[in-house]
Amino acid sequence: MPEPAKMTTRFAAIADRLKFNEQGLIPAIAQQHDSGEVLMMAWMNRDAVIETLGTGRVCYFSRSRNKLWRKGESSGQEQHLVDFRYDCDQDTILVQVDQKGVACHTGRRNCFYFAARDGVETIISEPEISVEDLYGDKK
Amino acid sequence: MPEPAKMTTRFAAIADRLKFNEQGLIPAIAQQHDSGEVLMMAWMNRDAVIETLGTGRVCYFSRSRNKLWRKGESSGQEQHLVDFRYDCDQDTILVQVDQKGVACHTGRRNCFYFAARDGVETIISEPEISVEDLYGDKK
């Protein structure tokens, strides 16, 4: 690996390739690298992209809290970066990750637990861990 | 299956559950249902959601053309709906699909062909079909 300063320059160059929206954000899909399970979708800003590439731990931008959101910082359910990809239009990121524990704040492995079956909303997975166990008093 | 009018009411109720942004759009991730490959991310409006559920063929909203975009209508590379899911916040859709041919307008199977490897942009897949063969004179 090149020296740290050079890597930082490279990560900035990757961020320069991406198209952020008018709020300075880009959608990022997180996928479990080995099973292919789509875990969640969240948003990154430029700083989150550079931090994710630099640390190997996925960092988003929380729109509700208006600050960087290091996935797992409250819950311990970290996402370790396996591959950082982006699409033909450079306006969507796909992070392939190794998800520690569960990705969803409800305690489910992934966030996509509602399905329309015969036109009726159906819950297709259950929490693997309680919200209390996930966040304790930290929420 | 209930009668068509009842199904339309149901699909509208699913659309009512979703949170569209200020432009009336919601991101939709398309995933190949059996392999788990993430194919693309695009946007749907309310009409696109209802059409997708009603026809079983995935329909997006094209922001550049400002109209419904029935995936494959120009290229023939249709997406057949296998499961329609959405997330805990009801603000992202995951459509599991059977993709006919390729999903990407460049002729690649999926759109996520750029990867940051050692901080350097790397192209990780090649087109399976030429743009000319995909669109002919229709583009």
Write the ipTM.
Answer: 0.95
Contact A11 B119 (CB under 8 A): yes
pLDDT score at A138: 54
Beta carbons within 8 Å of A26's beta carbon, 6+ residues apart: A18, A19, A20, A43, A44, A45, A49, A91, A92, A93
Q: Which domain holds residue B62?
A: 4-105
Cβ neighbors of B50 (< 8 A, separation 6 or more) are B8, B11, B12, B15
Would you call B112 and A86 a contact, using CB atoms and an 8 Å cutoff? Answer: yes
Look at residue B22 and tell me if it is in a domain: yes
> Measured between alpha carbons, how far is A130 from A107 in angstroms, rounded to an integer?
6
Whether A81 and A100 have beta carbons less than 8 Å apart is answered as no
Percent of chain B with pLDDT over 90: 91
Nearest-Cα distance to chain B for A26, in Å, is 11
The domain that holds B98 is classified in CATH as 3.10.20.810
Size of interface A-B (CB pairs under 8 A): 121
Asked if residue A9 has pLDDT above 90, the reply is yes
Distance from CA of A86 to the nearest CA of B (A): 5
For residue A115, is it within any domain?
no
Residue B13 lies in a domain: yes
Q: How many domains is chain B built from? A: 1
Per the domain annotation, does A22 fall within a domain?
yes
Query: Checking phi first, is residue A56 left (phi over 0); if not, alpha (psi -120 to 50) or beta?
Result: left
* Predicted local distance difference test score (pLDDT) of residue A91: 98
Is the pLDDT confidence value at A10 over 60? yes
Q: Which residue has the higher pLDDT, B136 or B84?
A: B84
User: Hey, are the CB atoms on A88 and B94 less than 8 Å from each other?
Assistant: no
Residue B135 lies in a domain: no
A114 closest CB neighbour out of B85, B113, B124: B85
Beta bridge partners of A59: A70
**Residues near B6 by Cβ (< 8 Å), separated by ≥ 6?**
none
Q: Region A28-32: what's the mean pLDDT?
A: 98
Within a domain: B38: yes
Note whether residue B113 is domain-resident: no
Q: What is the mean pLDDT of chain B?
A: 95
A59 assigned ligand-binding residue? no
Q: Is residue B36 part of a domain?
A: yes
Regarding beta strands A120-123 and B93-99, do their DSSP bridges make them parallel or antiparallel, or are they unpaired?
unpaired
pLDDT computed for residue B59 by the predictor: 98
Measured between CB atoms, which of A90, A94, A118 is closest to B1?
A: A118
